[in-house]
Amino acid sequence: MGVYKYGGKIATKSLAPGFRVYAEEVFKKNGKEYRVWNPFKSKLAAAIKKGLKNFPFKEGINVLYLGAATGTTCSHVSDLIGKKGKLFCVEFSADSMKELIKVCEKRRNMYPILADARTPENYEKIVGKVEVVYEDVADPEQVKILEINAKKFLKKNGIVMLALKAPCIDSSEKKGKIYEETEKQLKKEFEIVEKIDLEPFEKEHRFYVLKQQ
């Protein structure tokens, strides 16, 4: 289990062979199905392609994913953590949730949660402690949302990952200024372990790996 290389591409071994999530390319090797992970469609894949060093997605861990959308990145995380892991997928758009549920039905380690990530008390009875909190919510309050969820759910020594979209914080500000301000805010609660600009895969996005202080 892990991230596999396939030519110049990356891939994960499918937990649900025969089922595609976002029309991704698949291939077979030794009778197993692998799904190519597209860095133009998934910020986590983009971060891996750009040399991400801290990669916590091991078999059997529990992950809280904020901003699951229709399950593109979640499905690869589901492949990585395997049947023994649990992936709690928080999404507040009912339209996205309809598609996400179809993915979760095929992958029994994914738990769909229709909720606003600003109110974690609404899902604290479902989500226990997790090794990773991952956030990609494209919301001006991204940092605050991350803090309250990490405080509630992250295990000691757990890892936090944030895909930050600069224009979501302030569309009129230059991205350098937004990153600077956001990092100042992040440093109040977290240690910044790694940061990666996601260009050319995603414009004006920076990916952070954080630890709680």
Ligand X SMILES: C[S@@+](CC[C@H](N)C(=O)[O-])C[C@H]1O[C@@H](n2cnc3c(N)ncnc32)[C@H](O)[C@@H]1O
Least gap, CB of 156 to ligand X (angstroms): 25
Least gap, CB of 44 to ligand X (angstroms): 7
* Residue ranges binding ligand X (CB under 6 A): 42-43, 67, 69, 72-73, 90-93, 96, 116-118, 136-139
Q: For residues 179 and 201, which CB has a smaller minimum distance to ligand X in the complex? A: 201
| Distant-in-sequence, close-in-space partners of 179: CB < 8 Å, separation ≥ 6 | 164, 166, 206
Least gap, CB of 72 to ligand X (angstroms): 3
Q: What does the alpha-carbon distance between residue 72 and residue 52 come to, in Å, rounded to a whole number?
A: 19
CB 125 within 8 A of CB 153: no
Q: What b/e sequence results for 76-100 when a residue is b if at least 16 CB atoms lie within 10 Å of its CB, and e otherwise?
A: bbbbbbbeebbbbbbbbeeebbebb
Q: What does the alpha-carbon distance between residue 144 and residue 135 come to, in Å, rounded to a whole number?
A: 11
Least gap, CB of 66 to ligand X (angstroms): 6
**Residue closest to ligand X (Cβ):** 67
Least gap, CB of 93 to ligand X (angstroms): 4
Q: For residues 117 and 169, which CB has a smaller minimum distance to ligand X in the complex? A: 117
Residue count of the chain: 213
Q: For residues 125 and 156, which CB has a smaller minimum distance to ligand X in the complex? A: 125
**Is 17 exposed, middle or buried, given 0-12, 13-18 or 19+ CB atoms closer than 10 A?**
middle
Q: For residues 138 and 193, which CB has a smaller minimum distance to ligand X in the complex? A: 138
Q: For residues 91 and 147, which CB has a smaller minimum distance to ligand X in the complex? A: 91
